Structure 1
Amino acid sequence: MQKDEENMDDMEFDILTEIGNIGAGNATTALAKLIDGRVDMHVPKVEMLAFKDLAEILGGAEELVAGILLSLEGDIEGSMLFVLENKAAHHLVHKLMGSDGSTLEDSFTEMEQSALVEIGNIISGAYLTAISQLTNLNIIQTVPSLAIDMAGAILSVPAIEFGKLGDKALLIESQFEDDEIDVCGYFILIPTLESYTRILKSLGM
């Protein structure tokens, strides 16, 4: 029998929270290696939210963000989105590329976009590794695509694609801190209902 996300009990949510904690820890380590610097992590916030409420959490539907979207295949199917606030995205790109970050414009050069995809790919991979290790499930991530747009527009892609499978998403809000600024990133996992059931079953639920 499939689990209904509306009726998820406390123990099940605790498991998903643990996945969020371990994933964020993995992401912090990966990010520190990537930018070759110290990165501290605040305790991530984990929520199960309806698609319609996600944009508000990201600062509103018109907030400019960078979104890295990938599809999931294998034992867990669905979609995954890693979202960075525009300022945070520029900061990480400049750190990765070794520039001084003196020009924080809204637009990204082609090289900066490639760097951003790499950042999103590595951080998303860190979260997926946590889920895979905890569940012993095989997760294959597709090549990521990048969009720099308003939060509402970016969120509409997975909402349209997976809305028919369930109207909820697992949101993990992770705050990373380096020696200059706090970087706020949002990891949004949108598995199919069957995949939710598979995750919980693999953990003995």
Structure 2
Amino acid sequence: MTFAPYALEDLETDALTELVNIGVSRAAVSLRKMVGSQVTLSVPSVEVVGRRAAVTLIRERESDQLVAVRQDFSGAFSGRALLIFPEANSLELVRAVTHDELSGQEIVDIEEEALAETGNVVLNGCLATMANILQRPLAMSLPQVMKGDGQILFELSEEPDDNGVVLFLYINFAISGRDIRGYIAMLMDLPSLRSLKELIGEFIARVVGAGGGDG
């Protein structure tokens, strides 16, 4: 099934993937300072789907309870950013951040604080970089940690015509040999997605213009 009102063209998807990869690369540098070892973050795919489809997608991929760090953003485009992990992965991430120096109970005690800090680094790094390259300011709220399934995280309403869309960015984390997978999901309404598409179009025009010059 296609979602015509939300669909990004191939060139837009490529440009957005490139923007996000630059953002998460910068976030990886900050994370490396936190964990004290090599961090690689990559975004292999980008999808734009309706919220209902997003809930189904994540349910098919993840049977475990999910943990998410949420930050709202506003500016030329607005919405909510979520850094989502399966719960087992979230504890592994806390172990990495605390250098495996804490007991199981201590990890549980500081899990929320460590996840909020990590989410802030990744989401801020990603969105601030995107905003910078798109030449528009974005304001970010403080991070909050949430737990639940996709229906809770994506705040799916009972309305059948829920117009919210989810921009899904799949992330692979590699932290000093730990395999930690996660997702960034950006929840936006259609006007915000249209604004983002326009900014991506301007970015593509700038890149094409720069590439076509005589220098």
TM-score over 0.5 (shorter chain): yes
Task: Select the residue among 184, 195, 205 that pairs with 1:187.
Answer: 184
> CA 1:190–1:43 in 2, change beyond 3 Å: closer, same or farther?
closer
Q: Deviations over 1:155-179 (max 9, x none)?
A: 2x2x44xx97733211111101122
Contact 1:70 1:143 in 2 (8 A): yes
Match of 1:26 in 2: 26
68-77 vs 164-173, which moves further: 164-173
TM-score norm. by structure 2 comes to 0.78
> CA 1:76–1:179 in 2, change beyond 3 Å: closer, same or farther?
same
SS in structure 1 opposite 2:130? Answer: helix
Supply the distance in 1 between the matched residues of 2:105 and 2:183 (Cα, whole angstroms): 21
Match of 1:92 in 2: 93
Supply the distance in 2 between the matched residues of 1:142 and 1:150 (Cα, whole angstroms): 22
Contact 2:6 2:165 in 1 (8 A): yes
Match of 1:81 in 2: 82
> CA 1:104–1:176 in 2, change beyond 3 Å: closer, same or farther?
farther
Amino acid at match of 1:18: E
* Unmatched runs of 5 consecutive residues or more in structure 2: 203-215
Matched, 1:170 2:167: yes
Match of 1:16 in 2: 16
Structure ID, larger Rg: 2
Match of 2:52 in 1: 52
Over the aligned positions, Cα root-mean-square deviation in angstroms equals 2.9
TM-score norm. by structure 1 comes to 0.81
Contact 2:51 2:162 in 1 (8 A): no
Match of 2:149 in 1: 150
Contact 1:174 1:185 in 2 (8 A): yes
Contact 1:67 1:147 in 2 (8 A): yes
Deviation of the 1:51 alpha carbon? 1.6
Q: How does 1:34-73 map to 2 (within 5 A)?
A: 34-60=34-60, 63-73=64-74
Match of 2:118 in 1: 119
126-135 vs 20-29, which moves further: 20-29
Identity of aligned residues (%): 20
Amino acid at match of 1:126: G
Paired positions, count: 197
Supply the distance in 1 between the matched residues of 2:88 and 2:101 (Cα, whole angstroms): 14
Deviation of the 1:187 alpha carbon? 0.3
Deviation of the 1:121 alpha carbon? 0.9
